[in-house]
């Protein structure tokens, strides 16, 4: 770095921390360069640059070599910022570990940066977001494609996947890209012109050394050139150091040519020394700054001020002050390297975490399970490991791609293993699809039927069969269920309409039965057995002729049966005849109401009662055998007679149960 650069003729603001909120007014005032009262003489032998490492003594060369890395890092950054002056106005945005964010969070971060930050301030962050987003989205796309191929056997069906997240990402990144391209296009247009203008200014400086010209005109021309230089604008960064040094070399040559007052020059040297000493004091403070990145950023600004805004110092202080500055720069660089080393250590820990996660996924890709519920548990484990992988943080850049590929391979192997299981059950799902398709066809065939008595049980049976059939392929599930549900609902809506029509008739039947019941309460038997029995049977037939009543009003049937019971009691019929008449009346009622469930229950009840009576008769007959086979039994005693009487009653009861069962069977056959 050239330490013998002339200060600017005009007053310059040399703020110690151009980007730092902590800089204060006193420091700014200290670094303001002293205005020239008159040009100063800079002898030709003072126009030197810092010697290279090869030109220094051995010890000094080693020291220079140690410092050179830090100096180069700052020089490169300042050269870049000189090319694009808008870089000086950018502010530091904390760099997040974008690999740990979800796709949704990455899009939100991109939107925030594009909407609220300058292009160059956000450029590095947006490129990191893009890298993380595309890596994760590509991985997601691969998984969706594998799932599609596992579920679809049709070779003519192409895989398609659309994500609103990707659309939003593309929208915001396009806004950023257009803004960036516009900025750099404008910049490139100006750089070439500015470079040509600055080189032309240097050429004019060379021509100023002309003894034939009036000194006042020469000085006026010189000051005009410096003003033009100041306003010439940015130039390409690869030309920056060369052009600046060339310009200052000819400025100093001009001072030397004018043979200016050495006392004035020494005063200027002293002023420049004080400014550079203040910079050194500030750098000593920066070495102890907790925020290393912020301190390093300010150090870059101080290097720019040292080079561009402050002129040379006397030869006796030149090496000493420059060495102090470069040594402090190395300390700051070393401190920054310690921070980077710590980050690299954290990245190494993250790498081990990610390797462990990958190993766990690889194990899950070999654990065979045979049930859907178990696979759901496995999938949940992999999702948790996936989240842990993305949350683990950055790994060393040289193994980042390898680690990412290992993770993708492990997840892909798990998905392949999982899909193999679901391919096996795919056949079952296709069989289920065929069964449900057949049920849909049957339901559609019956949905217009008006034979409700015959069709309703069939439709209910179809619904029961549907429940027993397992899953169908997901792509058909919603449609086939809708078709089936629509057909069933259509039929049962028609059934409901028909029942609503029947309800009018049932209400009329209830009203008729209610009125008839009042008449029947006043009925008196004539005393003639046959006449009264025929009259009761006629009442029963008349009652049946009214038809069914609404379900909530069926209590009227009980009232009718009570009146019949009273009439049967007065008829003095046999117990069997009375029982059978009552039973026949009740069964006719169940038959008319089409209550097959109650008829079936009655049939089961009768069969059970018949079996019970048979067992009791068998037991009683065994008991008779015991008494009649004794040696001393000359005649049947009272116990035997009681048992025989009991057997006869049971047989009579048995005949009644059998007759009732016969009636039910005849009803069901009808």
Q: What is the pTM of this model?
A: 0.41
- Predicted local distance difference test score (pLDDT) of residue 618: 82
Question: For the segment 319-342, what is each residue's pLDDT rounded down to a tens digit?
Answer: 888 888 888 888 888 888 787 777
- Tokens coding 135: 């890596």
* Domain spans of the chain, in order of start: 1-84+261-351, 352-428, 432-496, 594-670
Burial class (CB in 10 A: 0-12, 13-18, 19+), 427: exposed
- Predicted local distance difference test score (pLDDT) of residue 152: 67
Dihedral sign, Cα of residue 362, residue 367, residue 372, residue 375: negative
- Tokens coding 244: 């600046």
- Predicted local distance difference test score (pLDDT) of residue 183: 73
- Predicted local distance difference test score (pLDDT) of residue 488: 92
Question: For the segment 473-506, what is each residue's pLDDT rounded down to a tens digit?
Answer: 888 889 989 999 998 998 888 887 777 666 777 7
- Predicted local distance difference test score (pLDDT) of residue 326: 86
Q: Looking at residues 92-114, what average pLDDT do you find?
A: 79
Q: Helix/strand/coil (H, E, C) string of 547-607?
A: CCCCHHHCHHHHHHHHHHHHHHHHHCCCHHHHHHHHHHHHHHHHHHCCCHHHHHHHHHHHH
Long-range contacts of 21-24 (CB under 8 A, 24+ apart): 23/298
- Predicted local distance difference test score (pLDDT) of residue 30: 29
Instruction: Using pLDDT thresholds of 50, 70 and 90, give the confidence band for residue 19.
Output: very low
Interacting residues of 536 by C-beta distance below 8 A, sequence separation 6+: 564, 567, 568, 571, 581
Mean pLDDT value across the chain: 75
60 has pLDDT over 80:
no
Percentage with pLDDT > 90 across the chain: 3
- Predicted local distance difference test score (pLDDT) of residue 48: 32
Instruction: Using pLDDT thresholds of 50, 70 and 90, give the confidence band for residue 57.
Output: very low
Q: Looking at residues 507-516, what average pLDDT do you find?
A: 84
Interacting residues of 270 by C-beta distance below 8 A, sequence separation 6+: 314
Question: For the segment 137-152, what is each residue's pLDDT rounded down to a tens digit?
Answer: 887 887 777 777 766 6
More confident residue, 286 or 88: 286
In this predicted structure, which of 98-102, 458-462, 486-490, 607-611 has the lowest mean pLDDT? 98-102
Q: Looking at residues 405-425, what average pLDDT do you find?
A: 83
119 has pLDDT over 80:
no
564 has pLDDT over 90:
no
Instruction: Determine the Cα–Cα distance for residues 100 and 94; give it in Å rounded to an integer.
Output: 15
Question: For the segment 579-599, what is each residue's pLDDT rounded down to a tens digit?
Answer: 677 777 777 666 666 667 777
441 has pLDDT over 90:
yes
- Predicted local distance difference test score (pLDDT) of residue 81: 60
In this predicted structure, which of 30-39, 101-110, 305-314, 468-477 has the lowest mean pLDDT? 30-39
In this predicted structure, which of 62-76, 112-126, 398-412 has the lowest mean pLDDT? 62-76
622 has pLDDT over 50:
yes
Q: Looking at residues 153-180, what average pLDDT do you find?
A: 79
Smallest Cα–Cα separation from 413: which of 480, 469, 376, 364? Answer: 364
In this predicted structure, which of 465-469, 530-534, 603-607 has the lowest mean pLDDT? 530-534
Interacting residues of 281 by C-beta distance below 8 A, sequence separation 6+: none
């Amino acid at each position: 770095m050239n330490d013998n650069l002339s200060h600017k003729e005009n007053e310059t603001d040399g703020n110690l921390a151009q980007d730092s909120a902590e800089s204060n007014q006193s420091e700014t005032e200290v670094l303001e360069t002293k205005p020239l009262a008159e040009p100063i003489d800079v002898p030709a032998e003072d126009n030197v640059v810092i010697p290279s490492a090869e030109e220094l003594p051995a010890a000094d060369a080693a020291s220079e070599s140690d410092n050179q890395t830090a100096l180069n890092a700052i020089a490169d950054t300042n050269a870049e910022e000189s090319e694009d002056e808008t870089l000086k106005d950018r502010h530091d945005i904390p760099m997040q570990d974008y690999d740990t964010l979800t796709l949704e969070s990455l899009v939100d971060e991109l939107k925030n940066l594009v909407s609220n930050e300058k292009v160059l301030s956000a450029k590095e962050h947006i490129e990191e977001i893009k890298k993380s987003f595309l890596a994760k989205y590509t991985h997601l796309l691969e998984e969706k494609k594998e799932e599609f191929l596992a579920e679809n056997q049709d070779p003519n069906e192409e895989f398609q996947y659309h994500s609103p997240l990707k659309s939003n990402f593309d929208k915001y990144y396009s806004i950023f890209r257009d803004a960036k391209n516009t900025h750099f296009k404008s910049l490139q247009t100006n750089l070439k012109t500015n470079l040509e203008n600055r080189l032309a200014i240097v050429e004019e400086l060379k021509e100023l050394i002309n003894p034939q010209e009036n000194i006042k005109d020469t000085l006026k021309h010189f000051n005009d050139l410096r003003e033009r230089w100041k306003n010439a604008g940015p130039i390409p960064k690869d030309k920056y150091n060369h052009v600046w040094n060339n310009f200052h070399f000819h400025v100093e040559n001009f001072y030397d040519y004018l043979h200016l007052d050495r006392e004035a020059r020494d005063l200027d040297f002293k002023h420049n020394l004080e400014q550079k000493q203040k910079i050194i004091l500030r750098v000593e403070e920066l070495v102890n700054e907790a925020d290393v990145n912020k301190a390093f950023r300010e150090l870059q600004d101080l290097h720019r001020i040292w080079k561009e805004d402050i002129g040379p110092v006397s030869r006796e202080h030149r090496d000493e002050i420059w060495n102090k500055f470069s040594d402090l720069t190395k300390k700051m660089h070393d401190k920054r390297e310690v921070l980077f080393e710590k980050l690299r250590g954290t990245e190494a820990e993250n790498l081990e975490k990610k390797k462990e996660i990958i190993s766990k996924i690889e194990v899950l890709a070999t654990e065979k399970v045979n049930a859907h519920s178990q696979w759901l548990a496995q999938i949940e484990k992999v999702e948790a490991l996936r989240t842990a992988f993305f949350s683990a943080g950055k790994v060393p850049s040289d193994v980042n791609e390898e680690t990412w590929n290992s993770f993708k391979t492990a997840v892909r192997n798990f998905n392949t293993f999982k899909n193999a299981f679901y391919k096996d059950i795919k056949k079952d799902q296709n069989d289920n699809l065929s069964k449900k398709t057949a049920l849909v066809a049957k339901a559609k065939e019956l949905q217009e039927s008006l034979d409700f008595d015959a069709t309703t049980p069939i439709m209910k049976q179809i619904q029961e069969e549907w429940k027993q059939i397992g899953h169908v392929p997901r792509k058909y599930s919603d449609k086939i269920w809708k078709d089936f549900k629509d057909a069933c609902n259509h039929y049962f809506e028609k059934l409901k309409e028909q029942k609503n029509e029947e309800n009018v008739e049932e209400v009329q039947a209830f009203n008729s039965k209610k009125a008839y019941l009042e008449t029947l309460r006043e009925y008196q038997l004539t005393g003639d057995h046959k006449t009264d029995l025929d009259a009761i049977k006629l009442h029963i037939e008349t009652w049946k002729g009214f038809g069914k009543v609404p379900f909530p009003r069926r209590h009227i049937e009980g009232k009718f049966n009570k009146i019949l019971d009273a009439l049967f009691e007065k008829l003095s019929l046999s117990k069997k005849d009375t029982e059978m008449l009552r039973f026949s009346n009740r069964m006719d009622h169940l038959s008319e109401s089409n209550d097959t469930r109650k008829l079936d229950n009655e049939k089961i009840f009768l069969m059970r009662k018949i079996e019970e009576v048979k067992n009791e008769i068998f037991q009683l007959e065994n008991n008779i055998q015991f008494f009649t086979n004794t040696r001393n039994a000359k005649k049947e005693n009272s116990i035997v007679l009681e048992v025989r009487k009991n057997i006869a009653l049971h047989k009579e009861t048995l005949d009644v149960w059998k007759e009732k069962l016969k009636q039910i069977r005849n009803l069901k056959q009808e």
